[in-house]
Amino acid sequence: MDYLSFCRGVLIGGLMGDCYGFVYEGSPASKFTIPLELLQRSINGFDTKQLMYSDDTQMSLAILRSLKARNSFDAEHLAKEFTTDYFENGLHRCYGGSVGRVFSSLRMANYKDPYAHAADLFNGTGSYGNGGAMRIAPAALYGLRYPQREFEKIVIDITRLTHTNPLAICGALIQAYAIQMIFSLIHDHIQLDYVAFIDNLLKRLERTEYFVDFKQPNWLEALDAYKEKLQIVKYLLIDDKQPSVTNIVHQLDESWFILCYNTLFLVASGQRTLSTLRR
């Protein structure tokens, strides 16, 4: 199979989602049809204006640059890439409010002890936002060549440069595992089953060994939260009534909807990629 085409598809898909979804930034009342209409106008050539990407793509690009420059994951090097981008080109990228403190602290410490700065946020609980998951695709793609524990390590370590809360780390793992599992499905020519995919996604999360400890209450709470939401996703997928977007968002709430949508978009993309790569 064409490994490079798979990588390009995942990265370009993430970029498109970021650019077309950017209309929601700072506009919680935007209708869900707006980015879809914008996409259709772009495809038809009626709208040719340049779109803007957010901090998610900017940080994804930093991960790609760092991995290429060091030919491996170097926490201090990536921390510097993140920080430089934030201060030189971050004003209009809609970074989260707390991450600026992390980058300021990293710069003052000359990027030493790079994991400690994010871990200090919110009285030591760390950020639980979805930023770790939104930028993790490059790490997952790079880690496809690694044994499972090393795959987990690169995903978690890149995430905890800015997000250390169990909810954030589990979200990044789910996104990364989705990429890993889709790649395996394509490689092994296995038919995609949405329900089985979600079940296996949760099993893989539960089996994570590096850094994660689901015996601890905060980690167990995060795991249970994802189980609950992904079970809802599973039931929505098998519902013959085609639930409305309003109903889906109501059941998942906005932040969970975004993460689950991204994960399921990868599943759907994997199905299309499978037929494309076999041509």
Binding residues for Mg(2+): 54-56
And the tokens for 108?
A: 């003052």
CA distances from 209 to 27, 33, 135, 161, 182 (A): 39, 41, 22, 19, 21
* Separation CA 187–CA 182 (nearest Å): 8
Task: Name the residue type at position 161.
Answer: L
- Report the binding-site residues: 54-56
Backbone angles phi, psi at 128, to 5 degrees: -110, 15
Q: Is the separation of the CB atoms in 133 and 63 below 8 Å?
A: no
Q: Is the separation of the CB atoms in 267 and 194 below 8 Å?
A: yes
Q: Which of 128, 120, 135 is nearest to 81 (CA)?
A: 135
**Torsional sign, CA 259, 73, 19, 28:** positive
* Separation CA 17–CA 19 (nearest Å): 6
How many residues can be counted in the chain?
Answer: 279
